[in-house]
Amino acid sequence: IVFSYIEDKDIFEKFYWKMLAQRFVHQASVNDEHEVLMVQKLKEASGSTYTVKLEQMCKDIHTSKTLLDEFRNWCKINTIDKTFDFSIMVLTTSVWPFSVPSTIKIPIQVSTYQMIILLLFNESPEYTVEQIQDETQIELDLLIKILCLLLKEKIFICTDLSIEGQNKIEEENIKINFVIKLNFDYKSATIRRNLNLPIKSLEQKETEETNRTIDKDRALIIQ
């Protein structure tokens, strides 16, 4: 009922598509059957063209779970001793929102901005901000935001900052020639630390990119 009152249904579809993908990949959905039911209701309201990507995503998840179950059964029948369990997903490239090209040099082992930066320190205990930017190709304003987070968490230290600046990390105080060092004396009072905090500029950039895609799709329909 609520869906029928939404004017910009194309915008709703774009954001629902992205959020559904995140729920599936991060296994955050409460019930996959409910997701499929919702897609069917959207199809009834707006037609099959509207939900073609969403339907394929649901099929991909079902196929992935079937393949994983078959593999586990095969291992059990053939008495193959697995030292660890794992989960795989076989996804159709054209319907999932995870294939946007990027100039960032992402190492094979990782997929986050923070780990891209942290892996550099396997080669050297310190880098200037400029050197990190050259090595990773991350936009400077975004890079400084990430470095500030890691400095606040004491993963990195920067002796170029004043004592006051080290106690209160501010983005505008980080200069491109400042040296960022790995903190070998790092200690934490907790067993687990969550460094994967949202960065506003990254979320805003993703939203702007989604809106640009929507405008482009609308222009093609009008033509």
E-strand stretches of 83-184:
126-128, 156-157, 179-182
Q: Cα–Cα distance between 158 and 91 in angstroms, integer?
A: 42
pTM: 0.46
User: What's the order of all strands across the beta sheet hosting 179-182?
Assistant: 126-128, 179-182, 156-157
What SS3 state is found at 168? Answer: coil
pLDDT of residue 115: 83
Neighbours of 133 (CB within 10 A): 19
Give 132 or 31, the one with higher predicted confidence.
132
Q: Which of 35-39, 90-94, 151-155, 207-211 has the lowest mean pLDDT?
A: 207-211
| Domain limits, the chain | 2-95, 113-187
Neighbours of 120 (CB within 10 A): 17
Residues in CB range of 63: below 8 A, 6 or more apart: 90
Compute CA distances 14 → 9, 51, 120, 202, whole Å. 9, 11, 35, 18
User: What phi and psi, each to the nearest 5 degrees, are found at residue 162?
Assistant: -70, 165
Q: Cα–Cα distance between 77 and 71 in angstroms, integer?
A: 10
Q: What is the DSSP string of 51-101?
A: THHHHHHHHHHHHHHHHHHHHHHHHHHTT---SS--------GGGSS----
pLDDT of residue 222: 63
Residue 117 has pLDDT above 80, yes or no: yes
Residues 155-165 have a mean pLDDT of: 85
Give helix 113-120 / helix 140-152 axis angle, nearest 10°: 80
Q: Are 29 and 23 in contact (CB under 8 A)?
A: yes
What mean pLDDT value characterizes the chain?
A: 82
pLDDT of residue 107: 47
In CATH, which of 3.30.230.130, 3.50.50.60, 1.10.730.10, 3.40.30.10 is domain 113-187? 3.30.230.130
